[in-house]
Structure 1
Amino acid sequence: MPAQPSRAPRGVRHVRPLSGRAPTAQRMIFGETLRKHREALGLTEKEVARGIGGCSASKISRLESGEHDFKEKDVLCLLDVYQVVDPAERTRLLELSQQANEKGWWEAWRDVAPKELQTYVSLEDIAARIRSYESGQLLGLLQIPDYTRALVKANSLEPGVRTAERIMELRAIRAQRFLNESAAQLICVVDEVTLSRGYGTNPIMRRQIEHLIELAGHERISFRLAPSARLNLPVQIGTTTVFDFAADQLPAIVYVERCNGGLYLQDRQEVDAYERGFDRLMVNSLGSAACLQKLKDYCQKYR
């Protein structure tokens, strides 16, 4: 079992990977360490910026949110301001900052992975628990390659064969890594619409649903189903993923899909609101056994 997710309080903060490097999980973790040092001394970002000179409060904010590389000079200046004097601790933190700057395995797919997705994949890699609801398609971790290819082709204005294949490769590797290397729990609310209005051909949808049935028996994966015929389902949270992490890594982070790109939320009140929304949807959806039966029924439909 993974360690209990962190429930530490958090100030108002959004992660917006819109400029510079995408804020990956490792950079966010080191940035969180810097933030804790700053807050332990009761310093504001502006006061820290003044303390090290030649720096802005916005840069301190970007460092803490993982949206900026950690240069050794900057880290040493910050450690001085934060009164970290023990040589062993300074060495440890410098090594962590260097590790945070390392490129992720997904860098080879940057041509088809926008910054929001790079952040998503990095969080997916280290999460202790992932809670997800997708309203228009199946979660990427659950997709078979043929489904992914058909989905990309159907939703691209000018679909390129190479682009579709690259996206398919990346999703397949993510799924393999989750099944073979991760210890995270996945709780997924499947919307029945994604089963009834599928992608590809009947044989592709049948293989996709057979894959879901196989995954339903995995010890770290649990499904619920939001049925199309049920009234008053609280689905207005839209496509949402909640990432929970082991204690002392990161507070919970919510990813919300938008038509013009995703948004990452870390504000405690906003995260709580989405968690409550997800829990309401989960409770009002069909349980694991009923969901499995629905999947079997759809297998027959796509014969």
Structure 2
Amino acid sequence: MGQELAGADAPGGGGAKSSRRVRYLRDEPVPSAQRMVVGDALRVRREQLGMKQEEVARLLGRSTSKVSRIESGQHQFKEEDLARFFAIYLVTDPEEQSQLRELAKQANQMPWWQPWAGVTQRHLQAVVSFEDMAQRIRSYEPQHLPGLLQTEEYARALIASGGGDARQREALVTFRMERQMRFQRAEKKLICVVDEGALMRGYGTPRIMRQQLEHLLELADSPRYLIRIAEQGRYNVPVHIGSITIWDFSARILPTIAYQEVFDGGLVFQDEAQVDDRARAFDRLREASLSPQRSVQRLRDLLKRTGR
């Protein structure tokens, strides 16, 4: 099920409501990032021309709901539909047409995660599509380490704690390792705040946690991974923002998007004011956390405590 919810109060927003909507992802057809790019570009064109969805639907000979689904990235694009949009919106630049056609083609192709579609939740598949296109990822997880930082054995122990049969659990581990491999191959950057409580909350065995801490120390040597630790014993660290991921894209692809996972799905924020509020909240948490150098030292201290 996918829903658009009235804008929720943003952190520090004084209770003001957003005029845009928040997308709740659960088990709807995955609104891939590529489809959202094309849909958002078409929506911007329509609004620039001062046209309503109803008017566009009439010119297309389609329903208003279909125009809405196309703009929100929930509908596959057909070449003939794109050509008619171009004509209605006066998109005459060959380069712009070519870029949108290529993105629509990519969106209609079978994604790399299709072999895992039977064991992964659909909102997670949408997350992966954003992750694939993002140039930079900002992340905070209060309960456990983010998936892009996990060793295979830590991931296996964490996934096992959530239940499910052995085959499904092992498939999810393989899926998580594939995500990591694709991230490592790409020229992307991860800025991550790690909650110290997540480091002290063990999964598996002491040996698995030692290996995980060693892995974090290795990643911290790379300029592509910026890891800072939110101290557990320090007062007034603003960890109340909860689990959050912020995807930063190249300027010509998509505006920054924020994502917050909930119990049975996820909330996607695209409204500029709501995204800015969450980005500022994340940056406050990052600044209140240990510096990268002190975070490395804390990891070494924790590694010593686990013993050999």
Give the alignment's TM-score, normalised by structure 1: 0.90
1:11 shift after superposition: 7.3
Post-superposition Cα deviations, 1:148-174, rounded to whole Å, max 9, x if no partner, equal 111111122xx3111111111011111
Q: Residue 183 of structure 2 aligns with which residue? A: 178
Q: Which has the higher contact order (CA 8 A, sep 6+)?
A: 1
- Give yes or no for contact 1:11–1:268 (8 Å, CA) kept in 2: no
Aligned equivalents of 1:139, 1:112: Cα separation in 2: 19
* C-alpha distance in 1 between matches for 2:230 and 2:100: 45
Distance in 1, matches of 2:162 and 2:27, equals 26
Q: Matched residues in 2 for 1:298 and 1:99: separation? A: 44
Distance of 2:93 and 2:281 partners within structure 1: 45
- Report matched runs for 1:102-113 at 5 Å: 102-113=109-120
Q: Quick one: distance in 2 between partners of 1:229 and 1:84?
A: 56
Residues 25 and 265, structure 2, Cα contact 8 Å, conserved in 1: no
Deviation, structure 1 residue 15: 3.4
Contact 2:24 2:265 in 1 (8 A): no
Residues 103 and 145 (structure 1 numbering): CA distance in 2 closer, same or farther, change over 3 Å?
A: same
**Corresponding position of 1:168:** 173
**Corresponding residue number in structure 2 for 1:52:** 60
Partner deviation per Cα, 1:203-250 (whole Å, 9 max, x = no partner): 000001100000000111111111110111111110000000001100
Structure 1 SS opposite 2:161:
helix
Native 8 Å contact 1:41 1:82 kept in 2:
yes
How has the CA–CA distance of structure 1 residues 14 and 59 changed in structure 2, closer, same or farther, with 3 Å as cutoff? farther
Which consecutive residues of structure 1, in runs of 5 or more, have no partner in the other structure? Answer: 1-9
The amino acid of 2:257's aligned partner reads: I
Task: Note if contact 2:27-2:123 (Cα within 8 Å) is conserved in structure 1.
Answer: no
What is residue 146 of structure 1 aligned with on the other side? 153
Residue 32 in 1 paired to residue 32 in 2?
Answer: no
- Partner SS, residue 245 of structure 2: strand
Alpha-carbon deviation of 1:272?
A: 0.9
Distance 1:16 1:68, change over 3 A: farther
Amino acid at match of 2:43: R
Question: Is 1:247 the counterpart of 2:251 in the alignment?
Answer: yes
Q: CA 1:86–1:12 in 2, change beyond 3 Å: closer, same or farther?
A: same
Instruction: Give the conservation status (yes or no) of the 8 Å contact 2:246–2:256.
Output: yes
Distance 2:218 2:95 in 1: 49
Identify which of 74, 78, 90 aligns with 2:81.
Answer: 74
| Post-superposition CA distance 1:117-146 (Å, at most 9, x none) | 111111111111100000111000001111
Structure 1 residues 300 and 35, CA gap change in structure 2 (3 angstroms): same
Q: Please say if residues 202 and 209 of structure 2, whose CA atoms lie closer than 8 Å, have aligned partners that are also in contact.
A: yes
In the TM superposition, residue 92 of structure 1 has moved relative to its aligned partner by 5.8
Aligned pairs, number: 290
Aligned-residue CA RMSD (Å): 1.9
Q: Is the 8 A contact 1:199 1:205 kept in 2?
A: yes
Deviations 1:15-61, CA, capped at 9 Å, x for gaps: 344465201111111112212221221212222122222311x3222
Structure 2: segments with no counterpart, 5+ residues: 1-17
**Is the Cα–Cα contact under 8 Å of residues 30 and 100 in structure 1 kept in the other structure?**
no
